[in-house]
Amino acid sequence: MTHFLDIHKTDPADLRHMIDHAGAMKTARQGRPKGAPDDEQPLAGHMVALIFEKPSTRTRVSFDVGVRQMGGQTMVLSGSDMQLGHGENIADTARVLSRYVDLIMIRTFDEDVLLELAEYASVPVINGLTDRTHPCQIMADILTFEEHRGPIKGKKVVWTGDGNNVCASFLHAAGQFGFDLTFTGPSQLDPEEVFMNEARAKGSKIIIERDAFKAVEGADLVVADTWVSMHDAQSAKERRHNMLRPYQVNEELMSHAKPDALFMHCLPAHREEEATSAVMDGPNSVIFDEAENRLHAQKAVMRWCLGV
């Protein structure tokens, strides 16, 4: 079964094919209305289940629109609709859904939910996000970087702030696509050691640098993400702000990177916290290209999973 669970679990040649395919599909749609179908309708007759235990804007809309553009249909389900793992165990849910749909995308909290769903499903499963990783976002980020600056291989990416799930997938991508990554943030929020070591084992240079200004020297890409989750208590938010304030991406920090260094943020953003509006709306920012490219990258992922 061809699942898309994590970047480091997918063959580099397949990842490259998906990025190139995504770019070709995006180019083919230039000048068309957003709702117009693709010339090819590879998902015609296919039903895709989109499961959301976590709320979503970009993931929900981009997957739904992508399926429709390719001629398929979607069934959007919330965690409360399904009582996933509560009213019925995950293995049985996977078996039942596989009788109804051709593909399952799930956005959930616990990585074990994703893995168990994939283990027992007889149709492909896509990781739309877990608390541990976010591979679809990074596929969009790779596509975005290469649109603007060419191949990412050998480039320097700097992650600022919290070594969270998006950072984890960036580390996976470093090993698979052959770029280097520097993490700058407080020690309490370092990425998982296992993810850093996996990338190093594949030849990528992975560094932790506490001084944000030193970290961004020579950077081709600077990436930020939110400092707090919507689920964090107020006291936790205040502690995080105190820890992360030295890692805000502002114009002064970006001036220490390469002059043409891109800035990315997967959104939603808390402006003037992890990054300033001057950077987010500045000439080096590609955050809205990045958001659009979720659509194109995920279409390529779905086609790869289904072999169409």
Active site (annotated) includes residue 266: yes
User: Cα separation of 216 and 272, whole Å?
Assistant: 19
Distance CA 202, CA 181 (A): 13
Q: In what order do the strands lie in the sheet with 180-184?
A: 206-208, 180-184, 156-160, 221-224, 262-265
Residue 139, token pair as written in the block? 């596929």
Query: Is the link from the previous residue into 268 a cis peptide, with omega within 30 of 0?
Result: yes
Catalytic residue among 3, 8, 58, 107: 107
Report the SS3 class of residue 79: helix
CA-CA distance, 213 to 134, in Å (whole number)? Answer: 27
Token pair 């400092």: residue: 227
Catalytic residue among 132, 134, 172, 240: 134
Whole-angstrom Cα distance, residue 128 to residue 108?
A: 8
| Catalytic residue flag (residue 294) | yes
Catalytic residue among 3, 6, 8, 137: 137
Q: What is the CA radius of gyration of the chain?
A: 19
Query: Which one is catalytic: 141, 162, 220, 225?
Result: 225
* 3-state SS, residue 169: helix
Whole-number Cα distances in Å, 118 to 8, 9, 32, 124, 188: 16, 13, 35, 7, 32
Q: Has 137 been annotated as catalytic?
A: yes
Catalytic residue among 136, 141, 167, 266: 266
Find the catalytic residue in 294, 298, 303, 305: 294
Q: Which two tokens stand for residue 9?
A: 């679990």
Output the six-digit token pair for 87.
């009213």
Confirm whether 20 is a catalytic residue.
no
- Cα-based angle 227, 233, 237 (whole degrees, multiple of 5): 30
3-state secondary structure of 227: coil
149 catalytically annotated: no
* Residues with catalytic roles: 107, 134, 137, 225, 266, 294
